[in-house]
Structure 1
Amino acid sequence: MVSGIPRTYRYAAALVGALLVLPACSEDSGPTPEAKTESAGSAGTAGTATPSAPTVIVPGAPGEAAKTVGPDEPEVEVEDPWNHADVAFLQMMIPHHAQALAMSELASTRAADPRVRRLADRIHAAQRPEILAMAAWLEEHDIEVPRAAEDPSAYDHGQHGHNEMQGMLSPEQMAALERASGPRFDRLFLQGMIGHHEGAIAMSEDVARDGAHVRVTEIASDVIVTQQDEIDVMRRMLGG
């Protein structure tokens, strides 16, 4: 107790005094909400430019410049050009790859050289996903996809005056490969697959020159790089 006033009462009196002072301080400490709003609006008009709406850059087709589209302009449809060369390549390459898979599967039980079996596994692993990608492109564009039971020659566009299917083994060559085993199988497999790969590379070069679709060209480029490397490996194996 100080000067006769209990400490508890002194705390209460101080708190009441502070609360009585706060309204006055609040009224005099700054502008009203309306004034703040007006001030902010005038400051924004005078000192800061209103942000402009974003624009969108739309890439053009191969060989064409990109286009800039503003927020009020209609959307520009991006072209996805393709032509007969793209379709012919995919429709011929699917059965072409399918024959390579059949040849590779024979190697698992007929090859004598483990290097031939490893190469066959590598070919199978590379070409099966490519078949799926090519079939997906054709389906996406509502174009017929070759089926396993169909005659591959039915999709040979060379019969209609366009680029032809190249490198396919004849039925007689496939029958000879199926009958062979051991070192004879290895030799026939390597010789047949080299010619098969060379045909695929020639077809890929055709569509790289004549095609229009970017994705098809990418598939063709992968075929050229992968299969040329495998040709080099098979030639070394035959030479050894």
Structure 2
Amino acid sequence: MRTFRKRTTRTLGLTGAVAAAALLLAACGDDGAMSGMDHGGTTAPATATATPGADGSAASAAPASGAFNDADVMFAQMMIPHHQQALEMAKLADGRARDAGVKKIATAVEQAQDPEIRTMRAWLKGWGAPESAGTGHSMAGMMSGQDMEDLAAARGEDFDRTFAELMIAHHEGAVTMAEEERKNGAHQEAKALAAEVVRAQTAEITELRKILARL
């Protein structure tokens, strides 16, 4: 009986030592796993900036040299007031226009050009350039004060015809400016916006001419 007890005691002691060693090894393994999480988990990708530009930081950190040129700045400075006048013309259609096509184009102008103005203002701010181009720069297709007064005074079919005539000229001016940007600009987003201006406003010129033909 004594021998059995001694053996049992030794067996239990050995078992306890093995269990303790196993727990120690498990703890070391856990520490290694945690260490791996620290270096290869969420922390490392965050500091490595795996998605450049996702929060705008990468774009602001990129060198400005070669990113844009004077043509890009001038395009934004001139297209902003050009778009603003188009918005004024489009807003006059409410309560004055009769033709469904004129109303549709007026809505399209508001939906497209207001966001484009905000985009170009953001570019100029990022480039450290003023919004105004100053004096001595003419913008093709801009309406005179008298043109705007005549449009505001018109109603019904008279408004539709005047709107179509003036917006065709206005859009043609915008297309000319956008083509210059596509040719001379360096900023890829500005050139892409210019291409969209050419596409959208050329299509609207075609529709406006159809409207004039049926009035």
TM-score by length of 1: 0.63
Distance in 1 of aligned mates of 2:10 and 2:79:
90
After TM superposition, list the pairs within 5 Å mapping 1:133-144 onto structure 2.
Answer: 133-144=119-130
Instruction: Note closer, same or farther for the CA distance 1:205–1:24 as it changes in structure 2 (3 Å cut).
Output: same
Name the structure 2 match of 1:107.
93
Once superposed, what is the RMSD of the aligned Cα atoms?
3.5
Q: State whether structure 2 residue 63 is matched by structure 1 residue 79.
A: yes
Q: Report the structure, 1 or 2, having the larger helix content.
A: 2
Name the structure 1 match of 2:31.
none
Name the structure 2 match of 1:236.
210
SS at match of 1:201: helix
Name the structure 2 match of 1:178.
152
Question: Could you say which structure has the greater relative contact order, defined with CA pairs below 8 angstroms and 6 or more residues apart?
Answer: 2
SS at match of 1:110: coil
Instruction: Note closer, same or farther for the CA distance 1:18–1:111 as it changes in structure 2 (3 Å cut).
Output: farther
Instruction: Note closer, same or farther for the CA distance 1:113–1:199 as it changes in structure 2 (3 Å cut).
Output: same
Distance in 2 of aligned mates of 1:169 and 1:231:
16
Native 8 Å contact 1:166 1:202 kept in 2: yes
Give the number of equivalent residue pairs.
Answer: 180
Name the structure 2 match of 1:190.
164
Corresponding letter in the other structure for 1:186: D
Distance in 1 of aligned mates of 2:186 and 2:12:
77
TM-score by length of 2: 0.69
Deviation at 1:18, TM superposition (A): 6.4
Deviation at 1:79, TM superposition (A): 3.4
**Overall identity of the aligned pairs, in %:** 38
Instruction: Note closer, same or farther for the CA distance 1:206–1:23 as it changes in structure 2 (3 Å cut).
Output: same
Corresponding letter in the other structure for 1:234: L
In structure 2, list runs of 5 or more residues that go unmatched.
Answer: 26-47, 53-60
SS at match of 1:168: coil
